[in-house]
Structure 1
Amino acid sequence: MNDRAEWGTPPAMTRPLDHLVLPTADLDLARGRLTSLGFTVAPRGVHPFGTENRCLYFSDGTFIEPLAVADQAATDAAATVGNVFVTRDRMYRENFGSEGFSAVVFGSEDADEDHRRYVQAGVSAGDRLDFSRPFVDASGRSDTASFRLAFAAMPQMRGTFVFACQRVNAPRVDRSALEAHANGAKRIAQIVAVAPEPAAITDFLSTGAEAGAAGQAGELDLPNSRIAVMTPDGYAKHFGLPCDTREPLAFSAVVFSVCNLDAARRHLVSTGVDHDMRADRIIVPAAPGQGAIFIFEENS
């Protein structure tokens, strides 16, 4: 949770954070919940393989992807031909339910190379995936977004995964209105994961991000964010929240940097969102439509 100026300098090739995937049962419910938290929610985006999203965009180019199943027949067909994105999403929902935090995604300039790295390291989750989808900005202007993905997971992970995302075609649309949030959130400062064996998971995440030799167990610095891996006991002590997971890796919380913590809290009070103040941070428990714990910290 340190200020960014205090972070270690990650290796030059370390992949940046691109986005996070948060499964949900209902995008309309998710939109209502996230709006009450003070986020601007993007229009619905539809994938060609039966899933859909309504994203939260940030000014540094990262985003959060609430993900729902829109067309069961299409996802069935995609899973049959080995679509890893759909298969892992389905696996996650079968094991943990339709609300959660399934994936951390790293930015990539060459997803083919990332796929080769994952195969060589023995953590590839399956074949690489190319796809395109329409993108619509707040004014209704549309363009096409195209992506190339490479996937990684440890064999014992029951749906949780990471992947590298190459933005083959970035839409030429104005996202500035979508990047302005009433709660003052500017970026994803940190992702918090829980693991019984943090050292092994830190190594895995370092492979996912091509971070070279992993640093101290439980810490992974990215160029634009940080991942903290804590034991269940350490997580409970740090945040005052229970977490008794026996999973090898559970993504649990997202820490947002906000301009003014008091202003963010006033917004939550005005919309009736339950929250706690602890050690100069606001903690909002997970809820339907918000699959992870959300934490707000000032200028972190």
Structure 2
Amino acid sequence: MTMRAIDHLVLSFDDLVTARERLGALRFTVAPDAVHPFGTGNACVFLADGVYLEPLAVVDAAAQAEALAAGNFFVARDAAFRAEQDLPGFSGLAFRSADALGDRDALTAQDLGEPATVDFSRTFRQSDGAGATLSFRLAFARLLPGFVASLFFCEARHSVAPDRSALARHANGAKGLLRIVLVGTVDEETRRLLETITGSALTSDGSGGATLASANVVLEFLTPSLAQARYGAAAVDDRLRLAGMVLAVTDLDQARAALAPDGVTERDGRIVATLGSASTPFIAFEERPS
């Protein structure tokens, strides 16, 4: 089975102003706000390795309500997360797809997928001021009671290749995504879904945790005690949830100098920054030679 790559993480915020303020304080270059046709919008953080973080908020309540009434899966899942979870929080994980319909059908055949898809286009403003239209198709895995996140495929259906090189340069030195940290219990149904989507097997890391490799990023599964020891992250309940992301920097001193001390700690040779009032969600920085 071919291993699947991570495309991006969705981080739901109350509003994009808060998202921009918090991520800007961590010295990320934040892209201009972009608006979806169904009432949500984002202010993305792009990384040089091609993965990106999508801070998401409702920017047009009327359009969001219309999308909910029409059964838009992306909007419905974001709305459900907002209603049930504290914000900010990692609400979704997107996997790259060259054929979202085929991926949907493969998941549905194993009773792991949803029949609906979401197709949309939006304008992307490039660094030279020129506009480009970006089109996407999303297909969704089933929501599972033991996993507090939406998993979906993201197929880019445009031929233009936006120049994001300027947006991928960050004062904190972040270059790429090393790991996604998940905390909680991995039940059998969740394990089957994750292994099916990534195309790899969950394996013990020898310390009480486990890992699952995608084509470009490692998913790190931790018990609450391990999450607390490694990242200072606390579990909310027994359900599995996306707790944080670990980014590579070439110089940890550069990251340390760039980051304000508020909400930032150091653990086992890494810098950990929380994004809200609680210990999750978090973004950690680890040094990796270039």
Same fold (TM over 0.5): yes
Q: Are 1:190 and 2:182 counterparts?
A: no
Percent identical:
37
What amino acid does structure 1 have at the position aligned with 2:244? A
Q: Are 1:245 and 2:256 counterparts?
A: no
1:98 to 1:170, Cα distance in 2 relative to 1, 3 A: farther
Shift of 1:158: 7.5
Aligned match of 2:93: 104
Aligned match of 1:261: 252
**2-structure distance, mates of 1:192, 1:16:** 16
1:241 to 1:195, Cα distance in 2 relative to 1, 3 A: closer
Shift of 1:73: 1.4
TM-score if structure 2 supplies the norm length? 0.91
Q: Are 1:54 and 2:78 counterparts?
A: no
Q: Which of 265, 283, 287 is the aligned partner of 1:276?
A: 265
Aligned match of 1:206: 195
Aligned match of 2:11: 22
Superposed counterparts of 1:1-300, under 5 Å: 11=1, 13-156=2-145, 160-197=149-186, 200-209=189-198, 211-212=199-200, 214-216=201-203, 218-247=210-239, 249-268=240-259, 271-287=260-276, 292-299=281-288
TM-score if structure 1 supplies the norm length? 0.88
Structure 2 SS opposite 1:102: strand
**1-structure distance, mates of 2:168, 2:287:** 17
1:239 to 1:99, Cα distance in 2 relative to 1, 3 A: closer
**2-structure distance, mates of 1:81, 1:48:** 13
Structure 1 SS opposite 2:157: strand
Instruction: State the Cα deviation string for residues 111-156 of structure 1 (Å, max 9, x = none).
Output: 0111112212222245111111111123432101111111113431
Consecutive unaligned residues of structure 1, counting only runs of 5 or more, are 1-10
**2-structure distance, mates of 1:230, 1:204:** 18
Aligned match of 1:7: none
Shift of 1:93: 0.5
**2-structure distance, mates of 1:142, 1:149:** 23
Structure 1 SS opposite 2:63: helix
1:291 to 1:231, Cα distance in 2 relative to 1, 3 A: closer
1:120 to 1:39, Cα distance in 2 relative to 1, 3 A: same
What amino acid does structure 1 have at the position aligned with 2:61? Q
Shift of 1:38: 1.3
Moved over 6 A (4+): none
Structure 1 SS opposite 2:116: coil
Conserved? CA contact 2:182–2:221, under 8 Å? yes
Shift of 1:170: 4.9
Aligned residue pair count: 283
Instruction: State the Cα deviation string for residues 15-64 of structure 1 (Å, max 9, x = none).
Output: 10100000001111211111110110001111010000000011121110
**1-structure distance, mates of 2:148, 2:59:** 19
**2-structure distance, mates of 1:145, 1:126:** 23
Conserved? CA contact 1:186–1:258, under 8 Å? yes
Q: Which protein, 1 or 2, shows the higher relative CO under an 8 Å CA cutoff with sep ≥ 6?
A: 1
Consecutive unaligned residues of structure 2, counting only runs of 5 or more, are 205-209
Structure 1 SS opposite 2:109: helix
Structure 2 SS opposite 1:40: coil
Structure 2 SS opposite 1:165: strand
**1-structure distance, mates of 2:105, 2:170:** 38
* Structure (1/2) with the larger strand percentage: 2
